[in-house]
Amino acid sequence: MPDHPTRIDLIRNTEQALRDASLQRQMGKAMPASRRARADAVAELPEWESLRSTAAEIKDHVLANLEGYLRQLESQVSALGGTVHWASDAAEARAIITDLARSRGVRRIVKSKSMTTEEIFLNPALEAAGAGVVETDLGEYVVQLAGERPSHLIAPVVHKPTEEIADLFVRKLGVPRYERPEELARVAREVLRAEFLAAEMGITGVNFAIAESGTLVIVENEGNARLTTARPRIHVAVMGVEKVLPQLADLSVFLRILARSGTGQRSSVYVSLLTGPRRAGETDGPEELHLVILDNGRRRLLADPDLRAALRCIRCGACQNECPVYQHAGGHAYGSVYAGPIGAVLTPAYEGLERARDLPFASTLCRACADVCPVKIDLPGMLVELRARSVRTGLASWRDRMLVGAWTFFTRSPARFMLAGSLGRLAQRLVARGGKIERLPYPLSGWTAHRAAPVLASTPFRAWWKSRQGEGR
Partner 1 sequence: MSRPVPPGDRPTADPVALFIERAEQVGISVITVGTHDEAIERAVALGRERRVQRAALWDTPEMAPIRDRLRAEGVEILDPRGTFETFAQAEIGITGAEWGVAETGSLVLSAGPGKPQAASLLAPLHLAVLRSDRIVPGLATLLERCGPLPSALVLITGPSRSADIGLVPVLGAHGPTAVTVLLVAG
According to CB under 8 A, which residues from 284 to 323 bind partner 1?
284-285
Of 51 and 333, CB closest to partner 1: 51
Of 122 and 216, CB closest to partner 1: 216
Q: Using CB under 8 A, which of 22, 75, 88, 252 touches partner 1?
A: 252
Of 158 and 238, CB closest to partner 1: 158
Contacts of residue 39, defined as CB under 8 A and 6 or more positions apart, other chains included, come to: 264
Q: Using CB under 8 A, which of 10, 23, 42, 58 touches partner 1?
A: 58
d(CA 290, CA 71): 15
Residues between 18 and 37 with contacts to partner 1, criterion CB under 8 A:
29-30, 33
Is position 181 an interface residue for partner 1 (rule: CB under 8 A)? yes
Of 258 and 329, CB closest to partner 1: 258
CA 9 to chain centre: 18
Residues between 208 and 237 with contacts to partner 1, criterion CB under 8 A:
213, 215, 221-224, 226-227, 229-231
Look at residue 203 and give its three-state secondary structure.
Answer: strand
Residue type at 336 in one-letter notation: S
Is position 279 an interface residue for partner 1 (rule: CB under 8 A)? yes
Is position 138 an interface residue for partner 1 (rule: CB under 8 A)? yes
d(CA 349, CA 372): 22
Of 317 and 360, CB closest to partner 1: 317
Is position 206 an interface residue for partner 1 (rule: CB under 8 A)? no
Angle value at C-alpha 350, between 237 and 56, nearest 5 degrees: 70
Is position 270 an interface residue for partner 1 (rule: CB under 8 A)? yes
**Of 185-193, 339-347, 420-428, 444-452, which part binds partner 1 (CB under 8 A)?**
185-193
Q: Using CB under 8 A, which of 93, 211, 238, 274 touches partner 1?
A: 274
Nearest partner of 398 among 432, 442, 363, 458, judged by Cα: 442
d(CA 17, CA 117): 25
DSSP H or E stretch at residue 235: strand 234-240
Of 241 and 255, CB closest to partner 1: 255
Is position 145 an interface residue for partner 1 (rule: CB under 8 A)? no
d(CA 389, CA 354): 10
Look at residue 111 and give its three-state secondary structure.
Answer: strand
Q: Using CB under 8 A, which of 11, 39, 197, 404 touches partner 1?
A: 197
Is position 264 an interface residue for partner 1 (rule: CB under 8 A)? no
Q: Using CB under 8 A, which of 70, 106, 131, 139 touches partner 1?
A: 139
To partner 1, the closest distance from the beta carbon of 182 in angstroms equals 5
Of 330 and 380, CB closest to partner 1: 330
Contacts of residue 327, defined as CB under 8 A and 6 or more positions apart, other chains included, come to: 27, 28, 31, 321
To partner 1, the closest distance from the beta carbon of 147 in angstroms equals 17
Of 283 and 458, CB closest to partner 1: 283
The per-residue DSSP string of 386-441 comes to HHHHHHHTT-S-HHHHHHHHHHHHHTSSHHHHHHHHHHHHHHGGGTEETTEE--PP
CA 172 to chain centre: 28
Is position 79 an interface residue for partner 1 (rule: CB under 8 A)? no
Please report which residue ranges of 20-109 form alpha helices under DSSP H: 21-43, 48-64, 66-79, 90-103
Q: Using CB under 8 A, which of 158, 211, 302, 307 touches partner 1?
A: 158
Phi, psi of 104 (to 5 degrees): -105, 10
To partner 1, the closest distance from the beta carbon of 194 in angstroms equals 10
Residues between 353 and 412 with contacts to partner 1, criterion CB under 8 A:
none
To partner 1, the closest distance from the beta carbon of 86 in angstroms equals 22
Look at residue 156 and give its three-state secondary structure.
Answer: coil
To partner 1, the closest distance from the beta carbon of 461 in angstroms equals 48
